[in-house]
C-alpha cells in the first residue's frame, strides 16, 4: 500500500519541486530585467543631463558672442537656453535624487529657465537686452562652466569605474548607509558650489514667473491659535454647523507660508476642514466633503446661493464667469469686477450642494494674495473695435469684457476679452489693450460652461 502511495506522490512532488524551481528562476529573471531597465534609464538620463548642460554653456556663449543689434540671433539663443534648461530639469527629475539635497541646483536651473523665457518672448527690437541682462548672461555663462566641470568629473568616474545608479538608489534609501558614494558625493559638491554663488539678480520678470506665495507680505498682525479658533467657530456657527471637537494646529512655522489648519466634525461624521493665514487670519479655503445624493436646485438657484454666500462673507464685486457640475455639486468661479474690468487673478471658487444650496467648498487663495500686486488699471489704448479686427473671422463672439490677466511672466495686463465659439469649442481670447495682439488664448473645457455677460 505504501509502495503504491509513494509511486503516486513522488512524481507529484517532483513535478511541484521542478515547477517551483522554474517559477523562482523566472521571477529572478524578471527582477533582473526590471533592475537592468531601471539602470539603463538612469544612465541615459544622467548622460543626457551632461550633454544638455554642455549645450547650455555653449548657447549662453553664442548668445553673448553676437552683436547687440542681432535681435533675431539673441532671441534664437535664448529660446535654445530655455529649451535646454527645460530638458535638464526633466532629466534631473528622472534621477534617484529625491532624498539627496539638490534643491539649489534645481532652483538655479528653474531661474535660468524663467529668465530665458521671459526675455525671449518679448519684442527685442523694441525692448533690447539691457546692460543688466547682459551682465546676468555673463554670470550664468561663467557659472555653467563651473557646473559642467564638476558634472564631467562625476561622469568620468561613472564611465571609468562602471558605477551603477541602482547603488545610489539603495544608498539613499538605506538609513544605516553613510551615503559614501561617488555619484552622491559628486552631486552634493555641485549643489554646494551653486549655493556659494553670489545671488544673481534675474530681473523682475523672471522673478515674477517663479514667485512663490508668502504670507509674510500680507497685511495685518499675526493671530493666535485662540483667535483663529474664534474665527472658525464664527464661520461654522453662521453656517448652522456644529463647532464641537474643533481642532486648530499651526503649520509652516519655519517657512514663508505660515497657516493654521482647522478641523471639525460636521454632519454624518464628515470632517470639515479649513485653512487660515497666520498673518491677518484670512480664510484660504473651506471644505465640507459630505455626500450629495440628489439634484433639486436649478442653475439660477445655485448661482444665487453662491453669490449670496460671497456677499455675506465680505467678498464684494465678484462676478461669476464659469460653472461646472459633477456629483450633484455645482462649482462656480468668480472674479473681482471693478469699473467694468474683470480681474482674473483675483478669483474665488464656490462649491454648492444641489440638494439644498449649502456651500460645501470655498477656494480663496488667489483672492487673498491678489491684493499684493493688483492695482486699478487705466483705459486700453486700443479700442474694442480695433482689437476685434485681430480675431479669427470664423470666431462667433458671444461675450465681451475688459479684463486683467496674468501674462507669461505673471505680470498683470489689461486686455479686451472675447468669448466665442470656433471649430466646435468655446474659447476666451485676450487681446492686449496696448498692442492689440493676442496675449492669451484659453480653451474652456467641455465640462465647464461660461457664464455670458455682454
Please count the structural domains in the chain. 4
Residues 315 and 429 in one domain: no
pLDDT 10s digits, 265-286: 766 667 888 889 898 888 998 9
Assigned domain for 378 exists: no
Across residues 214-230, what is the average pLDDT?
84
pTM for this entry: 0.61
Look at residues 179, 209, 239 and tell me which one is the last residue of a structural domain. 209
Q: In the predicted model, is pLDDT for residue 38 greater than 90?
A: no
Residues 39 and 186 in one domain: yes
Strands 425-432 and 438-444: antiparallel
Q: Using alpha carbons, select from 275, 253, 251 the residue that is nearest to residue 262.
A: 275
Half-sphere exposure of 408 (CA within 13 A, CB side): 14
Confidence of residue 193 (pLDDT cuts 50, 70, 90): low
Residues 87 and 165 in one domain: yes
pLDDT 10s digits, 150-182: 878 877 877 777 767 666 656 555 544 544 466
Assigned domain for 337 exists: yes
Residue 319, all three cell numbers: 462676478
Nearby residues of 422 by Cβ (< 8 Å), 6 or more positions away: 392, 394, 395, 396
Look at residues 373, 400, 433 and tell me which one is the last residue of a structural domain. 373
Task: Print the domain residue range for 304.
Answer: 291-373
Look at residues 290, 317, 343 and tell me which one is the last residue of a structural domain. 290
Residues 21 and 114 in one domain: yes
Residues 102 and 16 in one domain: yes
User: Do 418 and 440 touch, CB atoms closer than 8 A?
Assistant: no
pLDDT for the residue 125? 83
Residues 285 and 310 in one domain: no
CATH code where residue 304 lies? 3.10.450
Residues 18 and 129 in one domain: yes
Query: How far, in Å, CA of 135 to CA of 133, rounded?
Result: 5
Assigned domain for 57 exists: yes
Confidence of residue 133 (pLDDT cuts 50, 70, 90): confident
Across residues 408-412, what is the average pLDDT?
75
Beta strand extents in 183-302 (DSSP E only): 247-251, 259-265, 271-277, 283-287
Amino acid at each position: 500500500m505504501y509502495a503504491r502511495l509513494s509511486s503516486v506522490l513522488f512524481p507529484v512532488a517532483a513535478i511541484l519541486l521542478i515547477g517551483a524551481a522554474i517559477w523562482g528562476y523566472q521571477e529572478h529573471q524578471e527582477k533582473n530585467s526590471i533592475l537592468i531597465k531601471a539602470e539603463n534609464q538612469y544612465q541615459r538620463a544622467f548622460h543626457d543631463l551632461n550633454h544638455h548642460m554642455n549645450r547650455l554653456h555653449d548657447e549662453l556663449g553664442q548668445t553673448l558672442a553676437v552683436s547687440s543689434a542681432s535681435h533675431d540671433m539673441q532671441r534664437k539663443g535664448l529660446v535654445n537656453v530655455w529649451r535646454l534648461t527645460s530638458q535638464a530639469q526633466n532629466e534631473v527629475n528622472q534621477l534617484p535624487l529625491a532624498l539627496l539635497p539638490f534643491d539649489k541646483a534645481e532652483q538655479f536651473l528653474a531661474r535660468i529657465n524663467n529668465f530665458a523665457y521671459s526675455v525671449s518672448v518679448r519684442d527685442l527690437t523694441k525692448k533690447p537686452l539691457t546692460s543688466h541682462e547682459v551682465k546676468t548672461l555673463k554670470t550664468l555663462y561663467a557659472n555653467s562652466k563651473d557646473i559642467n566641470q564638476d558634472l564631467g568629473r562625476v561622469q568620468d568616474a561613472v564611465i571609468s569605474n562602471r558605477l551603477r545608479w541602482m547603488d545610489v538608489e539603495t544608498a539613499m534609501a538605506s538609513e544605516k548607509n553613510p551615503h559614501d558614494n561617488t555619484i552622491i558625493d559628486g552631486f552634493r559638491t555641485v549643489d554646494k558650489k551653486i549655493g556659494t554663488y553670489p545671488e544673481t539678480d534675474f530681473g523682475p520678470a523672471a522673478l515674477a514667473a517663479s514667485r512663490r506665495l508668502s504670507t509674510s507680505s500680507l497685511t495685518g498682525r499675526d493671530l493666535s491659535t485662540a483667535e483663529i479658533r474664534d474665527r472658525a467657530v464664527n464661520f461654522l456657527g453662521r453656517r448652522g454647523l456644529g463647532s464641537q471637537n474643533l481642532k486648530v494646529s499651526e503649520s509652516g512655522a519655519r517657512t514663508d507660508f505660515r497657516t493654521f489648519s482647522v478641523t471639525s466634525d460636521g454632519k454624518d461624521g464628515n470632517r470639515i476642514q479649513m485653512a487660515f493665514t497666520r498673518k491677518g487670519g484670512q480664510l484660504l479655503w473651506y471644505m465640507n466633503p459630505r455626500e450629495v445624493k440628489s439634484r433639486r436646485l436649478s442653475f439660477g438657484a445655485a448661482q444665487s446661493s453662491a453669490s449670496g454666500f460671497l456677499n455675506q462673507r465680505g467678498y464684494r464685486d465678484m462676478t461669476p464667469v464659469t460653472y461646472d457640475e459633477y456629483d450633484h455639486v455645482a462649482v462656480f468661479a468668480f472674479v473681482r469686477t471693478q469699473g467694468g474690468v474683470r480681474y482674473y487673478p483675483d478669483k474665488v471658487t464656490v462649491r454648492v450642494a444641489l440638494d439644498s444650496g449649502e456651500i460645501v467648498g470655498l477656494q480663496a487663495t488667489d483672492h487673498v494674495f491678489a491684493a499684493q500686486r493688483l492695482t486699478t488699471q487705466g483705459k486700453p489704448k486700443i479700442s474694442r473695435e480695433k482689437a476685434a479686427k485681430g480675431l479669427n473671422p470664423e470666431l462667433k463672439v458671444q461675450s465681451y469684457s475688459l479684463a486683467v490677466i496674468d501674462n507669461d511672466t505673471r505680470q498683470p495686463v489689461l486686455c479686451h476679452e472675447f468669448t466665442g465659439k470656433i471649430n466646435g469649442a468655446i474659447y476666451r481670447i485676450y487681446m492686449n489693450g496696448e498692442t492689440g495682439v493676442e496675449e492669451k488664448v484659453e480653451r474652456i473645457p467641455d465640462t465647464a460652461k461660461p457664464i455670458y455677460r455682454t
